[in-house]
Amino acid sequence: MSTWLVTGGAGFIGSNFVLYMLRTYDDVRIVNLDALTYAGNLENLLSVQDNPRYTFVHADIRDAQAVADTLAAHDPDYVINFAAESHVDRSIANPGVFADTNVMGTVNLLNCCRAAWDDGTGGFGAHRYLQVGTDEVYGTLAIPEALNADGSPADPEHTDYFREDTPLSPHSPYSASKTSADLFVKAYHDTYGFPAVITRCSNNYGPYQFPEKLIPLMINNAIHHKPLPVYGDGLNVRDWLYVDDHCKAIDMVARDGRLGEVYNVGGHNERANIYIVKTIIQQVREVTGDEQVSEDLITYVQDRAGHDRRYGMAPDKIRAELGWYPQTPYEEGIVKTIRWYLDNPTWVEHVTSGAYQDYYERMYADK
């Protein structure tokens, strides 16, 4: 049996990771430490809540005592830090909490693990810490001259991508906080020999994603015939990865990645935002037969401040060293995701009631 402490395991990727690990392995125990912010939802984990290999701890990664107690009680072999404030638009509206949680929370977690894992001889035994990072730390790429109709590069051989040695150049408060966290993790490895590794992943999508992010927001709005708010000209490009492919990468890097290293995770699924929105419209209409779901719902709104133009990952290192590759093409993943949102109206209703309405008003009223 190995024990994995997952922070932020009630969020989108964290809960998918908990479910992935418990269904993939019989010899894995999961401890999920989560503060249950607006983004944390234990409904994601109803199917495992009675599993004897699963434990939930309601705590904040900034709380040194709670984290130390959890480490002492469960002695995890692995710590995977998902816990974060994760939405760029919220970071623009309120950057402070991003510094608190993403930077100071990570530093607290590192300090607690370092103290708990210290073997008295300057080593840390076989323990391993993985920091879940993002491609946004690299800043932005130019849009290539020649594009396919979906916004992907027509000539990938001669196109720029983010590599692990691309200079860090974050633009939003969110990406600045994630960059700082990565640098602390690297510093703890380089200074104390702390056994850490970092993954940096492109945009994820799939079940249980909170409908403030592009794909679930558009699916939910389309189903309800609400305007589909496209920022700017809709030609910004993101590199989309189905969440289970990310979970698999984290599992592989946590176990076998070289300590002190960064691994980029992405699937060469670059798409322009407007293409994503149009495929969602088309798929929702096809699945539901609802003719009112049409491109008339598309509404171009004021652009996001400091909006990064293009993200595109080169996942060559993780493929070469660990044999990871993405299994889910975008066209398959988007249909699975839309069906999931249609099949889970209660989940959607719960997360979009109350506070979500206030959020939506605040964020979109002036755009």
Pick from 266, 269, 264, 314: which is nearest to 161 by CA? 314
Beta carbon nearer to ligand TYD, 88 or 222: 88
Beta carbon nearer to ligand TYD, 53 or 304: 304
Residues in the chain: 367
- Interface with ligand NAD by CB under 6 A: which residues? 7-8, 10-14, 34-37, 39-40, 60-62, 82-84, 86, 101, 105, 132, 134, 178, 201, 203-204, 210
Binding partner selected for residue 13 from ligand NAD, ligand TYD, none, CB under the kind-specific 5 to 8 Å limit = ligand NAD
Q: Which residues pair with 197 in a beta bridge?
A: 130
Interaction of residue 230 with ligand TYD, rule CB under 6 A: yes
Q: Please indicate whether residue 205 is annotated as part of the active site.
A: no
Interaction of residue 217 with ligand TYD, rule CB under 6 A: yes
Question: Which are the contacts of 180, defined by CB distance < 8 A and separation ≥ 6?
Answer: 99, 102, 103
Residue from 10, 71, 84, 88 binding ligand TYD (CB under 6 A):
88
Smallest separation, CB 251 to ligand TYD (Å): 23
Residue 193's CB is within 10 A of a number of other CB atoms, namely 14
How many angstroms separate the CA atoms of 331 and 329, rounded? 6
Interaction of residue 231 with ligand TYD, rule CB under 6 A: yes
Binding partner selected for residue 132 from ligand TYD, ligand NAD, none, CB under the kind-specific 5 to 8 Å limit = ligand NAD
Beta carbon nearer to ligand TYD, 218 or 262: 218
* DSSP-based three-state secondary structure for 129: strand
How many angstroms separate the CA atoms of 206 and 356, rounded? 19
Residue 318's CB is within 10 A of a number of other CB atoms, namely 24
Pick from 211, 217, 267: which is nearest to 238 by CA? 267
Cβ proximity of 54 and 34 under 8 Å: no
Q: Please indicate whether residue 136 is annotated as part of the active site.
A: yes
Smallest separation, CB 214 to ligand NAD (Å): 9
Q: Candidates 49-57, 156-164, 213-221, 241-249: pick the segment binding ligand TYD (CB under 6 A).
A: 213-221
Residue 90's CB is within 10 A of a number of other CB atoms, namely 20
Beta carbon nearer to ligand NAD, 128 or 293: 128
Beta carbon nearer to ligand TYD, 32 or 203: 203
Q: Please indicate whether residue 364 is annotated as part of the active site.
A: no
The two tokens of residue 9 are 């395991």
Question: Looking at the annotation, which residues are catalytic?
Answer: 135-136, 174
